[in-house]
Structure 1
Amino acid sequence: MQQRHLGRSGLRVSRLALGTMTWGKDTDAEEATRQLTAFIEAGGTLVDTADVHPHAEEILGTLVGDIVEREDLVIATKAVARRDDGPFGGGAGRGALLTALDGSLRRLAVDHIDLWQLHAWDNNVPLEETLSAVDAAARAGKIRYAGISNYSGWQLATAAVKADFPLVSTQVEYSLLERGIEREVRPAAEHHGLGILCWAPLGRGVLTGKYRNATPSDSRGASPHYAPYVEHHRSERAARIVQAVVTAADGLGTTPLAVALAWVRDRPGVAAPIVGARDTNQLHHSLNSEDLTLPPAIRAALDDVSDIELAYPERPLG
């Protein structure tokens, strides 16, 4: 698997990342082990998790040093989202963040996080306080790099300018079905040197085409945990885009999944899409996309069918 620098930093990551959102929920520890093994064997290095998925962190912690050496893995996790009702159970306050970090380190059974990400903007906490926690964590040797997640364009730019410890990445939803970051987030990330990590690069599974006629009983769309998550992208517009992806896949002799993943993987500024999988067989389909580069004509057709409107001020007046 090809490796890319994360933004303008020196951190190199695989251009496909493994997501762990379902680990400990719809994916048990045995299946998670098989997924990580397949990912590592394919040359993957970047694994993404979060403190609000504590079971996922715990499972990953049992595998580091067992099926993969610590130095061969780039571990990314997050903090800010609320874990519990306690005074330090969530939010972007200094105490809450440092408490969350210690919890992640304990569950992951490591002494540092390679990429620690602020999961969301917190209107209730001064940004300076939030960033002071990042700086303290870096000074203590508990994190190597820092990033943000789900920030708008102005939030990203403000944080990038004010941070003493430089931010190297932003993690956002990005796919053929969700291109909103192209208005302001992507230009801001490019200007400030942040690499883009894409969650839901398959449109929450909709771009695979499996929801065109019904909801498969073994899919996330049928899961009590993730049905609303998938439903978000089931619309008439999405159906048109999915059909274009299916048509492209038929013409290329590949799968809709591979087409959708290759499209977002090679967008400007993207370091890595993050893929999660129900099982190892499904993950292999994502890993196989490494061999696909979309022809310019097909990429242009997909750009067109999924295009979003850019107007003033994103597009200057003529």
Structure 2
Amino acid sequence: MEYRRLGASGLTVPALSFGAGTFGGKGELFSAWGDTDAKGARRLIDICLDAGVTMFDTADVYSTGESERVLGEAIKGRRDKVLISTKATFRFNDEPNAVGSSRFHLLSTIDASLKRLGTDHIDLFQLHGFDAMTPVEEVLSTLDTLVRDGKIRYVGVSNFSGWHIMKSLAAADRYGYPRYVANQTYYSLIGRDYEWELMPLGLDQGIGAVVWSPLGWGRLTGKIRRGQPLPKQSRLHDTAQYGPQVDDEYLYRVVDALDEVAKETGKSIPQIALNWLLQRPTVSTVIVGARNEEQLQQNLGAVGWSLTKEQIDKLDAASDVTPVYPYWHQRGFQERNPKPV
């Protein structure tokens, strides 16, 4: 396993992390992802640790806390061998303050997550979404308290716009609060919006990408093909409305390019899609999920080798789209506004 620094922090993380969204299986969305129990989770974590995958990502809303609880059960006796990443801010229950990034909610939700996880600290805590109703100074001062109390060690964000991050970083620098070092972001060969603003921001401000849904919400498995019906076991039957939308012809164009590279490398389509991400600027770790051992072993095969420049260029060309303004305009000013490398 390759290890990288998480943004500009001193924390070292594996190039691949394991996403525990498949643990628990409660609710319409998460039951479609998977329903791994503690026994199954222990087996998957055994395989991860043997391969050097030491970071495990979850969130309080995954199966309404059940994902955290199952993960906590599965790592008992080996907490010192793993890094735990979790998130909060989305609505957890019907209580008025059970949502957002207020001091009230963050303090209570962190304590609840620690209890479910069976630990006294969280290695990386990320705000799951931006809360425009709470001043960033209140959010950051609360995170500062939690860091000083030893309950969390590093802080990051997820699903933020560029200006959300910069406003927060400006306040952090002004008052000496912890800076965000991670951006858990959607990024894949069929979802490259991250490159337009958030990637240059990450390079400039030392924020590492923690990539979620690297296979485009299950579309880059190699099972979705032009002229063929959606596979019966695809989770897209139940969850497509929750995730990013992708034009069919665009998807097929990218899959065609993946097919060509697969023939050249002898690797699977998911392995190629993951390896492409691992060579992108700012990417600290890519979160992979698995409902079973076979899927996990398949994903682990994405490391230990590299695509050639020609293969990357082929995938880049197939997945390129015209960005929205002002990013398409900035492409014409590469002399002073170069793309990230």
Shorter-chain TM range is: over 0.9
Corresponding residue of 1:6? 6
SS of structure 1 residue aligned to 2:328: coil
Whole-angstrom CA distance in 2 between matches of 1:143 and 1:5: 18
Matched to 1:89, the amino acid is A
TM-score with structure 2 length normalisation? Answer: 0.88
> How far has the Cα of 1:230 moved from its partner?
6.0
* CA contact 1:195–1:270 (8 Å) conserved in 2: yes
Corresponding residue of 2:125? 116
Q: Could you say if the C-alpha distance between residues 13 and 87 of structure 1 is closer, same or farther in structure 2, counting changes exceeding 3 Å?
A: same
Task: Give yes or no for the alignment of 1:253 onto 2:266.
Answer: yes
Q: Please point out which of 209, 225, 245 is paired with 2:222.
A: 209
* CA contact 1:17–1:46 (8 Å) conserved in 2: yes
Q: Could you say if the C-alpha distance between residues 314 and 84 of structure 1 is closer, same or farther in structure 2, counting changes exceeding 3 Å?
A: farther
**Alignment map for 1:27-46 (pairs within 5 Å):** 27-29=35-37, 30-46=39-55
Whole-angstrom CA distance in 2 between matches of 1:17 and 1:72: 14
Corresponding residue of 2:339? none
Q: Count residues in correspondence.
A: 314
SS of structure 2 residue aligned to 1:204: coil
Whole-angstrom CA distance in 1 between matches of 2:7 and 2:193: 20
**Alignment map for 1:238-277 (pairs within 5 Å):** 238-277=251-290
Corresponding residue of 1:55? 66
How big is each residue's C-alpha offset from its partner over 1:265-290, in whole Å with a ceiling of 9 and x where there is no partner? 11011001111112111111000111
RMSD value over aligned CA atoms?
A: 1.7
* CA contact 2:101–2:139 (8 Å) conserved in 1: yes
Whole-angstrom CA distance in 1 between matches of 2:133 and 2:268: 45
Whole-angstrom CA distance in 2 between matches of 1:293 and 1:280: 24
Whole-angstrom CA distance in 1 between matches of 2:94 and 2:257: 45
Task: Give yes or no for the alignment of 1:219 onto 2:230.
Answer: no
**Alignment map for 1:133-172 (pairs within 5 Å):** 133-163=142-172, 164-172=177-185
TM-score with structure 1 length normalisation? Answer: 0.94
Whole-angstrom CA distance in 2 between matches of 1:315 and 1:71: 49
* CA contact 2:41–2:74 (8 Å) conserved in 1: no
Whole-angstrom CA distance in 2 between matches of 1:178 and 1:229: 15
> How far has the Cα of 1:114 moved from its partner?
0.2
How big is each residue's C-alpha offset from its partner over 1:106-125, in whole Å with a ceiling of 9 and x where there is no partner? 10010000000011111111
SS of structure 2 residue aligned to 1:215: coil
Q: Between the two proteins, what is the percent identity of the paired residues? A: 39
Corresponding residue of 1:186? 199
Whole-angstrom CA distance in 1 between matches of 2:89 and 2:74: 25
Whole-angstrom CA distance in 2 between matches of 1:273 and 1:118: 18
Name structure 2 gaps, 5 residues minimum.
26-33, 336-341
* CA contact 2:36–2:291 (8 Å) conserved in 1: no
* CA contact 2:42–2:75 (8 Å) conserved in 1: no
Whole-angstrom CA distance in 1 between matches of 2:3 and 2:334: 39
SS of structure 1 residue aligned to 2:320: coil
> How far has the Cα of 1:38 moved from its partner?
1.0
Q: Please point out which of 120, 138, 145 is paired with 1:129.
A: 138
Q: Could you say if the C-alpha distance between residues 162 and 231 of structure 1 is closer, same or farther in structure 2, counting changes exceeding 3 Å?
A: closer
Whole-angstrom CA distance in 1 between matches of 2:334 and 2:148: 46
